[in-house]
Amino acid sequence: MTRKIIIDTDPGQDDAVAILLALASPELEVLGITCVAGNVPLALTSLNARKVCELAGRPDVKVFAGCEAPLMRPLVTAEHVHGKTGLDGVELPAPQMPLQQAHAVDFLIETLRSEPAGSVTLCPLGPLTNIALALRKAPDIAGRVQEIVLMGGAYFEVGNITPAAEFNIYVDPEAADIVFRSGISITLMPLDLTHKALVTAGRVAAFRALGNRVGEVVAGWTDFFERFDKAKYGSEGAPLHDPTVIGWLLAPGLYSGRHINVEIETRSDLTRGMTVADWWGVTARAPNATFMGEIDAEGFFALLTERLARL
Ligand code: BDR
Ligand code: CA
């Protein structure tokens, strides 16, 4: 049986690879892609998502534009990592497929209400604005989501956009707070995990050696956005954050983590957007999320490469 998912995203090269991985995987049925402002503004994320669907040969996928800005704050973007377009590194043709008319938040609500309860998984790969707004507008959908598997947060690795906060949570901490208090089952892929899935030179070479257009493009993207993290961390490769969400849906045995309490700092100017994770169980706060900590990087990249070869 296939698993129904909605990918909520701000592409971003790593978001793009996550979308490709999902579209290459017969175990998953992508009901729609909802775009949000994040790495770059909404006009670009909703354009990029369609370019990626067309690259995958899937112009039939429904792509929706959602929120242009976080719930309560001005947008913070990450062109310093992803380039001006969000997908710098390879130029893709302008998409022919249309953007859907409906707002992403309405699509989320309508889909969760019309599909059988407990049958749709949400996969947020950017700031949580669309998901939080949907929960605010339609609190009944919380009980209908199968689970949320998201990329965001950090504990031992602390921040990548501030010393304390990971980008997706930092951009819209109020939205993240709504999601983490929603009672929905949450699994998160924090920096602690994604920093163990580095795109080394050998792994980029394996993408390039696939011999298809997708392999060339993914190698071009990873070459581009790697330069930032390699310089920053002095590591042999950069993390490929967002595909770890889809990887977990396909092969959860490659991952391990802890079911713990995770709360979002929204008030402090210094640590806003921090995921305060009770990894050591030092509070009596109820667990609300599975916080992943380890990944079998070899297994993950083997899976990713094998799937991209199918496109
Ligand atoms: C996250 O922020 C974005 O830059 C990436 O696409 C990823 O979702 C990593 O902190
Ligand atoms: Ca992202």
| Mean pLDDT score of the chain | 97
- What average pLDDT score do residues 202-219 get? 96
Query: Looking at residue 198, what DSSP letter applies?
Result: E
Q: Confirm if 179 and 131 have CB atoms less than 8 A apart.
A: yes
Tell me the three state secondary structure of residue 49. helix
Q: Confirm if 276 and 262 have CB atoms less than 8 A apart.
A: yes
Q: Confirm if 235 and 196 have CB atoms less than 8 A apart.
A: no
Tell me the three state secondary structure of residue 81. helix
Full set of structural domains in the chain with CATH: 3-308 (3.90.245.10)
- Determine whether the shortest distance from the Cβ of 8 to ligand 1 is under 6 A: no
Q: Cα-flanking dihedrals φ and ψ of residue 126, to 5°?
A: -140, -165
| Confidence at 224, pLDDT banded by 50, 70, 90 | confident
Q: What is the pLDDT of residue 311?
A: 97
Cα 282 to ligand 1 centre (Å): 29
Residue with tokens 């249309």: 98
- Tell me if residue 82 is catalytic: no
Cα 242 to ligand 1 centre (Å): 7
- Determine whether the shortest distance from the Cβ of 171 to ligand 1 is under 6 A: no
Cα 63 to ligand 1 centre (Å): 20
- Determine whether the shortest distance from the Cβ of 219 to ligand 1 is under 6 A: no
Residue-wise pLDDT tens digits, 114-138: 999 999 999 999 999 999 999 999 9
Our mutation pick for probing the ligand 1 site, out of 44, 151, 232, counting the most ligand atoms within 8 A of Cβ, is 151
CB contact burial 290-303 (16+ within 10 A = b; e otherwise): bbbbebbbeebbeb
Q: With a cut of 90, say whether residue 286 has pLDDT above it.
A: yes
Nearest atom of ligand 1 to the alpha carbon of 15: 6
Cα 193 to ligand 1 centre (Å): 13
Q: With a cut of 80, say whether residue 234 has pLDDT above it.
A: no
Q: With a cut of 90, say whether residue 33 has pLDDT above it.
A: yes
Query: Looking at residue 90, what DSSP letter applies?
Result: S
Ligand nearest 239 Cα, by number?
A: 1
Query: Looking at residue 103, what DSSP letter applies?
Result: B
Other beta carbons less than 10 A from residue 154's beta carbon = 25
Residue-wise pLDDT tens digits, 141-190: 999 999 999 999 999 999 999 999 999 999 999 999 999 999 999 999 99
| Strand-strand pairing, 120-124 and 63-65 | unpaired
- Determine whether the shortest distance from the Cβ of 123 to ligand 1 is under 6 A: no
Q: What is the pLDDT of residue 211?
A: 95
- Determine whether the shortest distance from the Cβ of 172 to ligand 1 is under 6 A: no
Q: What is the pLDDT of residue 228?
A: 75
Cα 241 to ligand 2 centre (Å): 8
Ligand nearest 240 Cα, by number?
A: 1
- Determine whether the shortest distance from the Cβ of 241 to ligand 1 is under 6 A: yes
Q: Where are the beta strands (DSSP E) in 117-229?
A: 120-124, 145-151, 186-189, 198-199
- Determine whether the shortest distance from the Cβ of 167 to ligand 1 is under 6 A: yes
Q: What is the pLDDT of residue 264?
A: 98
- Determine whether the shortest distance from the Cβ of 12 to ligand 1 is under 6 A: yes
| Shortest-distance Cα residue to atom 4 of ligand 1 | 39
The CA distance from 104 to 124, in Å, is 13
Q: Which of 82, 103, 241, 259 is catalytic?
A: 241
Other beta carbons less than 10 A from residue 74's beta carbon = 7
Give the gyration radius of the chain's Cα atoms: 18
Residue-wise pLDDT tens digits, 77-115: 999 999 999 999 999 999 999 999 999 999 999 999 999
Cα 143 to ligand 2 centre (Å): 25
Ligand nearest 8 Cα, by number?
A: 2
